[in-house]
């Protein structure tokens, strides 16, 4: 398995994407995941935002990343596709992200649903709309040979029955799952049983622990957390993460484990990196 990280880790530190590349090179991490956004953004322009704009040339960025020994594992185009504005804003966003990702040498684009039941739509109506949206997205993904992942993050994706139906929206090897150990836990699910149910669909993994205080306050009351303020291995989800890694090992998963935790300017995510490397070694998983 390969270790990477989401640049969300450095949102609160106001790092640039380039500074994240420097961190990756300094810590011998070769895979990176970031958000994409469309159009100019003042905080990004000033160098205080660790994500990438779609107006940035993907080939030139790819070359810059190669000098650091870093490649994209995935780019994040996760505007919720479950609400009324999913077809209006979310679908064009993903459709722009797919060819950009191809030129950037990035094999995967991640998508998701909204955190809550979409206002003004029944579950059946929202699912039908998402099916149409994913049909359009997957058609383009197949043309570019880019995997579109559905992330476990919201109202529908943290319900196994709904998620199973979403993963069957298209009969395509390019529609897969981004497993998230933290979001499945915070939603009140058993992350190990959840991973076992969907192990054949896993294409990318977010490794996220949860602090005891957050679990006590939010578990079973929310569907996802943007970023865990807890080093991986220090929270109440650590044993679940270990078991999920063992399960994925036995299934033959050899993809990226993307760390999602608050960076703390470096120290917190560096501690997470150390725990993840030790745990992979203990489980006999090459990294």
Q: Name residue 150's beta-bridge partners.
A: 111, 177
Does residue 166 sit within a domain? yes
Its domain, for residue 214, covers 2-282
Query: What tens digit of pLDDT does each residue of 168-184 get?
Result: 999 999 999 999 999 99
DSSP H or E segment with residue 111: strand 108-111
Half-sphere exposure for 135 (CA within 13 Å, toward CB)? 7
pTM for this one?
A: 0.96
Does residue 183 sit within a domain? yes
CB proximity list for 273: less than 8 A, separation 6 or greater: 3, 5, 27, 29, 259
CB proximity list for 97: less than 8 A, separation 6 or greater: 36, 54, 75, 77, 109
Query: What tens digit of pLDDT does each residue of 14-60 get?
Result: 999 999 999 999 999 999 999 999 999 999 999 999 999 999 999 99
Does residue 48 sit within a domain? yes
CB proximity list for 41: less than 8 A, separation 6 or greater: 49, 53
Tell me how crowded residue 125 is: count the other CB atoms within 10 A of its CB.
12
Looking up residue 253, the CATH number of its domain turns out to be 3.20.20.150
pLDDT confidence tier of residue 257, bands split at 50, 70 and 90: very high
CB proximity list for 275: less than 8 A, separation 6 or greater: 231, 232, 233, 234, 238
Token couple for 273: 């990196």
Count: domains in the chain = 1
Residue-level pLDDT at 227: 74
Give burial (CB, 10 Å; 0-12/13-18/19+) of 208.
buried
Does residue 149 sit within a domain? yes
pLDDT confidence tier of residue 228, bands split at 50, 70 and 90: confident
Tell me how crowded residue 271 is: count the other CB atoms within 10 A of its CB.
16
Distance from C-alpha of 50 to C-alpha of 68, rounded to nearest angstrom: 16
Half-sphere exposure for 83 (CA within 13 Å, toward CB)? 14
Structure-derived torsion over alpha carbons of residues 70, 90, 130, 163, reported in degrees to the nearest 10: 40
Does residue 212 sit within a domain? yes
Does residue 287 sit within a domain? no
Distance from C-alpha of 198 to C-alpha of 167, rounded to nearest angstrom: 10
Distance from C-alpha of 10 to C-alpha of 238, rounded to nearest angstrom: 22
Does residue 119 sit within a domain? yes
DSSP class of residue 261 equals S
Does residue 203 sit within a domain? yes
Token couple for 149: 């992942």
With 80 as the cut, is the pLDDT of residue 239 above it? yes
Residue-level pLDDT at 229: 87
With pLDDT > 90 as the criterion, what percentage of the chain qualifies? 95
Query: What tens digit of pLDDT does each residue of 130-148 get?
Result: 999 999 999 999 999 999 9
Token couple for 257: 């484990």
pLDDT confidence tier of residue 64, bands split at 50, 70 and 90: very high
Distance from C-alpha of 233 to C-alpha of 214, rounded to nearest angstrom: 15
With 80 as the cut, is the pLDDT of residue 252 above it? yes
Tell me how crowded residue 53 is: count the other CB atoms within 10 A of its CB.
17
Structure-derived torsion over alpha carbons of residues 196, 201, 203, 209, reported in degrees to the nearest 10: -30
Distance from C-alpha of 90 to C-alpha of 151, rounded to nearest angstrom: 14
With pLDDT > 70 as the criterion, what percentage of the chain qualifies? 100
């Amino acid at each position: 398995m390969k270790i990477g990280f989401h640049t969300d880790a450095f949102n609160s530190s106001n790092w640039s994407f380039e500074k994240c590349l420097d961190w990756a090179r300094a810590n011998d991490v070769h895979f990176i995941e970031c958000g994409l956004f469309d159009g100019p953004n003042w905080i990004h322009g000033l160098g205080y935002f660790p994500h990438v704009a779609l107006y940035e040339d993907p080939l030139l960025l790819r070359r810059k990343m190669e000098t650091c020994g870093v490649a994209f594992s995935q780019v994040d185009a996760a505007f919720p596709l479950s609400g009324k504005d999913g077809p209006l804003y979310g679908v064009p966003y993903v459709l722009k992200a797919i060819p950009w990702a191809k030129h950037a040498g990035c094999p995967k684009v991640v998508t998701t649903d909204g955190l809550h039941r979409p206002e003004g739509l029944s579950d059946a109506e929202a699912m039908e709309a998402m099916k149409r949206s994913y049909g359009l997205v997957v058609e383009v993904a197949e043309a570019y040979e880019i995997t579109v992942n559905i992330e476990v993050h919201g109202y529908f994706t943290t319900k196994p029955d709904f998620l199973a139906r979403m993963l069957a929206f298209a009969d395509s090897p390019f529609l897969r799952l981004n497993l998230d150990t933290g979001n499945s836990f915070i939603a009140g699910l058993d992350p190990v049983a959840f991973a076992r149910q969907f192990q054949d669909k896993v294409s990318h993994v977010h490794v996220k622990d949860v602090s005891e205080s957050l679990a006590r306050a939010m578990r079973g009351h929310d569907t996802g957390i943007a970023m865990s303020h807890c080093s991986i291995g220090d929270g109440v989800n650590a044993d679940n993460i270990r078991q999920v890694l063992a399960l994925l090992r036995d299934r033959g998963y050899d993809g990226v484990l993307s760390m999602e935790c608050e960076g703390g300017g470096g120290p917190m995510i560096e501690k997470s990196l150390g725990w993840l490397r030790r745990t992979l070694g203990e489980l006999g998983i090459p990294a």
